[in-house]
Amino acid sequence: MEQKILRISYSALDTFKQCPLKYKYQVVDKIKTLKTKEAVFGSVLHKALEWFHKQTPVSPTSDELLNKFKEIWPKNESVFSEDEDMIYFSEAIKILKNYYENYLKIKDNFSVLGTETRFEVMLENPQNKKEKCLLTGIIDRVDKTKEGIEVVDYKTTKKLPSQEDIHNSMQMSLYCLGVINRWPQFAEKGIENIKLTLYYLKHQETISTHRTQEQLNKIQEHVWKKLKEIEASKFEPLPSVLCDWCGYKKICSMWKHLYKKEFSIDDEQAKKVVNEYLALKENNTQNNKKINELKEIIERYLNNEKIERIFGDAGFITRLNQIRTGGYDLKKLEQIIKTLPRSIQDQIHQAKKEDKKYTVIKASLKKIQKDGQDQKI
């Protein structure tokens, strides 16, 4: 029987991680969408840098790089408004000027082996060796350095990740495997000679990492875990700040109401309900804030007076000590535990977390007269 080989790109895996619904729109349903502004901005910068590093043997000057960028910057069918166009365009020019200056400082340390380099990695399912997956990807730039080889991936995001994030990045591990597959001679000298770098263009900052054989072994398991998650996924939306970069925002169930153009009576009614709900929630927040302030004053008073109950005209407030055990009905739980073998009973008791003691302030709206019948509380 012919062996089934799954095919997936690194960027598809990354899209699923970002939002399963976006993955469905893009990879399963193959819905074409206009690129967002950030995506256009990033892709033109990538193209300009690809062109720059492909010119051999003499590297282009800064002016030549900028001219190339101006030539490929989208004009007629641009996604930018006039004002945005100016802002994004000048930011890109600034980035390229800084990039060029930085390049002059480091240009003698490397030679470019490839730009927009495609790679493929065959990953076997550790749980079922018959299942295989061909993972593909594109690396922005691969350099030959004195130490070995360096993978460079350009980023146009503002936020810089931590060194820890890069150390655990699935992208960097897969790129490392991709490079080993493509240029095995570098891995023969030791994978510690493969440097993996993210180049943050807006900051002209790089963050680098290396991989160990152990990490590379683990990534296979990790990718297969993700593939199984995709297989079982119901493709729920996962809204985040990244929605602003998502081309499916207008059709996504999380956002499409915002873009609705015609409103029925039901829609108008629903809007009113939402506004009323939000106003009540806001009142609740304010009330809770005030209640917490009053609680503090009451607690102070109870402490000073060394009492546990305080009376007002409309009722009274009691301070109670309670023990919480993580949401279980202790009596019922103990009954169940008694039916188990002794050794398991002991294990459960050992695993039981410490009970937590809480103080609660309980309010009772009940008028109390000193000598009346209501005194029995």
Is residue 177 a contact point for ligand SF4 (CB under 6 A)? no
CA 269 to CA 246: how far, in whole Å?
29
Is residue 211 a contact point for ligand SF4 (CB under 6 A)? no
Is residue 249 a contact point for ligand SF4 (CB under 6 A)? yes
State the minimum distance, in angstroms, from the CB of residue 181 to ligand SF4. Answer: 31
State the minimum distance, in angstroms, from the CB of residue 251 to ligand SF4. Answer: 8
Range in contact with ligand SF4 (rule: CB under 6 A) among 5-13, 48-56, 60-68, 245-253: 245-253
Is the CB of 21 or the CB of 187 nearer to ligand SF4? 21
Per-residue x/- track, 5-34, ligand SF4 (CB under 6 A) = --------------x-xx------------
Is residue 103 a contact point for ligand SF4 (CB under 6 A)? no
State the minimum distance, in angstroms, from the CB of residue 283 to ligand SF4. Answer: 30
Report which residue type is found at 297.
I
Report which residue type is found at 256.
K
Is residue 252 a contact point for ligand SF4 (CB under 6 A)? yes
Is residue 246 a contact point for ligand SF4 (CB under 6 A)? yes
- How many residues line the site for ligand SF4 (CB under 6 A)? 14
Query: What CA–CA distances, in Å, run from 63 to 95, 96, 332?
Result: 13, 10, 78
CA 320 to CA 297: how far, in whole Å?
16
Is the CB of 123 or the CB of 252 nearer to ligand SF4? 252
Range in contact with ligand SF4 (rule: CB under 6 A) among 69-77, 246-254, 270-278, 340-348: 246-254
Q: Which of residues 317-346 bind ligand SF4 (CB under 6 A)?
A: none
Is residue 255 a contact point for ligand SF4 (CB under 6 A)? yes
State the minimum distance, in angstroms, from the CB of residue 16 to ligand SF4. Answer: 11
Give the footprint of ligand SF4 on this chain (CB under 6 A): 19, 21-22, 237-239, 242-243, 246, 248-249, 252, 254-255
